[in-house]
C-alpha cells in the first residue's frame, strides 16, 4: 500500500539532499519519479530542487492553485510514476496535501514530502500542519544547533545577524536569513 510521508526538520538538516538521493535511487532502478517544488522561490536555480551540498534536479513548480494530483495522474497515464517527491512541502495548501493523500490512497503512488515544520516565529505552516495531521509516516530529520543540541527552530536574522521576530511568514532566504537553533537558543535570541 502506498503511503503519504512527511520528512520535516529545521533548515540545514539535509531535506533536499535526502529527497534528491531518493530520486536517484528510483532512477537507478529505471523507475520514474515526479519532482515538485514551490514556485515562489526566485533565487538562482529557481524551478530546481537544489541542496547546499551541490545536488540539483529540475522539478515541476507548484503554486497555491496548482492541482498536483491531476498533473501527476496525466503524467502517470503516459508512463508509470513510481513515486512523487515534493520539496518545500510547508508551502503546500491543505487542499494540495489532500491531493497528495489521494495519489497514495487511490492511485497507489507513494508521495514523499519534505519541508519545514515551523516558521521563524515557531508557528506551523499550512502545508506542514496538514501533513502532520494526515501523513501515514512522520520522519524528523536532524539538524544541529551551535550548542550541539537538536535544532528544531528557524531563527530569521537581519543583515547584521540580529534576530527578527515580526514580518511575513514567508521570506525566501538561506543561511544569510535563517539560522537553525535549538528551542533554548531560539528563545534567547528572540529575547534579545
**Range list of β-strands (E), the chain:** 4-9, 33-38, 48-50, 56-58, 60-62, 83-86, 111-116, 137-140, 143-144, 150-151, 153-157, 163-164, 178-181
**Average pLDDT score, the chain:** 90
**Predicted TM-score of the model (pTM):** 0.90
**Confidence tier at 94 by pLDDT (50, 70, 90):** very high
* CATH number where 26 lies: 3.40.50.300
178 located within any domain: no
Q: Find the range with the poorest average confidence among 12-16, 35-39, 101-105.
A: 12-16
pLDDT for res 53: 66
Is it the case that residue 136 has pLDDT exceeding 80?
yes
Total domains in the fold of the chain? 1
Is pLDDT at 127 greater than 90 in this prediction?
yes
Judge whether 140 counts as a catalytic residue: no
> Residue 45 pLDDT more than 70?
no
Q: Do the domain assignments include residue 135?
A: yes
Single out the catalytic residue among 78, 88, 123, 140.
88
Domain housing 85: 4-142
Which residues are within 8 A (CB) of 125 and not within 5 positions of it... i.e. 6 or more apart? 90, 91, 115, 116, 117, 118, 119, 169
| pLDDT of res. 151 | 95
> Residue 163: inside a domain, yes or no?
no
Residue 44 has pLDDT above 60, yes or no: no
Amino acid at each position: 500500500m502506498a503511503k503519504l510521508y512527511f520528512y520535516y526538520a529545521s533548515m540545514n538538516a539535509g531535506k533536499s539532499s535526502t529527497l534528491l538521493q531518493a530520486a536517484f535511487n528510483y532512477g537507478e532502478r529505471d523507475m520514474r519519479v515526479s519532482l515538485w517544488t514551490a514556485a515562489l522561490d526566485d533565487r538562482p536555480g529557481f524551478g530546481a530542487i537544489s541542496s547546499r551540498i551541490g545536488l540539483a534536479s529540475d522539478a515541476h513548480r507548484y503554486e497555491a492553485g496548482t492541482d498536483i494530483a491531476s498533473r501527476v495522474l496525466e503524467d502517470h497515464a503516459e508512463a508509470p510514476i513510481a513515486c512523487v517527491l515534493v520539496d518545500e512541502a510547508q508551502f503546500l495548501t491543505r487542499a494540495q496535501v489532500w491531493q497528495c493523500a489521494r495519489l497514495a490512497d487511490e492511485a497507489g503512488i507513494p508521495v514523499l514530502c519534505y519541508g519545514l515544520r515551523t516558521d521563524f516565529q515557531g508557528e506551523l505552516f499550512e502545508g506542514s500542519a496538514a501533513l502532520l495531521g494526515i501523513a501515514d509516516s512522520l520522519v524528523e530529520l536532524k539538524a544541529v544547533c551551535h550548542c550541539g543540541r537538536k535544532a528544531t527552530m528557524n531563527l530569521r536574522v537581519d543583515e547584521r545577524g540580529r534576530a527578527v521576530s515580526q514580518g511575513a511568514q514567508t521570506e525566501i532566504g538561506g543561511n544569510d536569513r535563517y539560522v537553525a537553533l535549538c528551542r533554548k537558543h531560539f528563545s534567547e535570541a528572540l529575547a534579545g
